[in-house]
């Protein structure tokens, strides 16, 4: 699927999901649009894998007809029932999955290309290591952070510093291991801090746009069932500037046809130790576990509800 089309589709889905989150149950679309959406190749909804995808249901809009804007008067509209699943949730997955050997070879090739990358000369000259990613290339769950910090640059592995150790704990609390998921960043190089001997800086929009094709290739090869975006910068790099992380977190989005859960960055939890903030991240993770069909114990459901 061409990237531009995929981005357009993701944007449309995300808009519909925002409406859905606000309680909107159906939207008006022209029959032509509905037919065009319905004609796209599909894959089953993640939660309803066994059931054949429901066709998009045109319905007459109940209640008094809304006042249509003048330009739209000539176009008949029907309602797209949002409760039946959004079209892009069934959007085509990128080609057929590769067999494990071919996948490993493609991943190794991608990693070699990233290791030799000099698209951002200032980052290429300041980095100690390209921090490509870590974990299983067959993972069902992918975590995406913003960029390597000093520890990660030193060790060539994402999320190994204090925030990374907390992320590992969060992963383990779900019952998964760090090795069974995949962890990557939008930027594969540490953002340089010229003139400073310590500290990190936020990656620029240009740096993220330059580097993100590597992440896209990682996503398309791994094909996880869910993605967790860690923190405002990662969310911005993936979805563009929308609303703040406080409003985005906890609500599913779609990214490259895959359900994406925005949540707070573990570094935020290190700065803000309030139980309520830990609980929010944990609630996001519970949603992710549900999406993956993981067992959830009563104890797990209750984590971070009382001191
Ligand atoms: N923060 C990130 O976003 N990524 C890392 O790899 C480490 C810290």
Best residue among 132, 142, 156, 163 to mutate for probing ligand 1's pocket (most ligand atoms within 8 Å of CB) is 163
Q: How far is the CA of 288 from the centre of ligand 1 (A)?
A: 20
Distance CA 219, CA 221 (A): 5
Q: How far is the CA of 158 from the centre of ligand 1 (A)?
A: 6
Q: In the prediction, which pLDDT does 46 show?
A: 44
pLDDT tens track for 120-173? 999 999 999 999 999 999 999 999 999 999 999 999 999 999 999 999 999 999
Q: pTM of whole model > 0.85?
A: no
Q: How far is the CA of 160 from the centre of ligand 1 (A)?
A: 8
- Ligand 1 atom 7 nearest Cα: 159
Contact 80, 88 (CB under 8 A): no
Q: How far is the CA of 305 from the centre of ligand 1 (A)?
A: 27
Contact 212, 256 (CB under 8 A): no
pLDDT tens track for 189-211? 999 988 887 778 999 999 999 99
Cα angle 206, 7, 209 (rounded to 5 degrees) comes to 10
Between 40 and 26, the higher pLDDT residue: 26
Residues touching ligand 1 (Cβ under 6 Å) are 145-149, 152, 158-159, 161, 163-164, 185
Distance CA 145, CA 131 (A): 12
Work out the angle between the directed axes of helices 275-291 and 162-174 (0-180°, nearest 10): 50
Distance CA 5, CA 9 (A): 6
The atom number, within ligand 1, closest to the CA of 265 reads 3
pLDDT averaged over every residue in the chain: 84
Q: Which CATH number fits domain 100-301: 3.40.50.720, 3.30.565.10, 3.40.470.10, 3.40.50.2300?
A: 3.40.470.10
The atom number, within ligand 1, closest to the CA of 230 reads 3
Q: How far is the CA of 297 from the centre of ligand 1 (A)?
A: 29
């Amino acid at each position: 699927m061409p990237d531009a089309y995929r981005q357009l589709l993701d944007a449309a889905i995300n808009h519909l999901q925002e409406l859905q989150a606000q309680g909107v149950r159906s939207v008006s679309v022209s029959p032509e649009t509905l037919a065009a959406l319905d004609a796209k190749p599909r894959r089953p909804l993640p939660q309803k894998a066994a059931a054949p995808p429901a066709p998009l249901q045109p319905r007459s809009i109940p209640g008094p007809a809304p006042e249509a804007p003048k330009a739209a008067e000539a176009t008949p509209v029907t309602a797209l029932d949002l409760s039946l699943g959004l079209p892009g949730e069934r959007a085509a997955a990128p080609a057929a999955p590769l067999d494990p050997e071919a996948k490993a070879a493609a991943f190794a090739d991608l990693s070699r290309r990233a290791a030799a990358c000099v698209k951002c000369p200032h980052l290429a000259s300041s980095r100690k290591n390209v921090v490509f990613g870590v974990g299983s290339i067959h993972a069902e769950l992918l975590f995406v952070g913003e960029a390597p910090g000093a520890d990660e640059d030193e060790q060539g592995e994402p999320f190994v510093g204090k925030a990374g150790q907390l992320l590992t704990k969060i992963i383990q609390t779900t019952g998964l291991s760090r090795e069974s998921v995949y962890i990557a960043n939008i930027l594969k190089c540490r953002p340089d801090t010229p003139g400073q001997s310590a500290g990190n800086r936020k990656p620029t929009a240009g740096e993220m746009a330059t580097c993100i094709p590597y992440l896209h290739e990682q996503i398309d090869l791994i094909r996880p069932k869910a993605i967790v975006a860690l923190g405002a910068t990662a969310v911005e790099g993936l979805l563009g500037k929308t609303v703040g992380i406080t409003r985005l977190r906890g609500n599913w989005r779609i990214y490259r046809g895959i359900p994406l859960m925005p949540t707070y960055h573990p570094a935020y939890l290190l700065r803000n130790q309030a139980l309520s903030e830990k609980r929010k991240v944990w609630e996001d993770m519970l949603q992710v576990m549900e999406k993956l069909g993981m067992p959830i114990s009563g104890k797990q459901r209750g984590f971070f509800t009382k001191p």
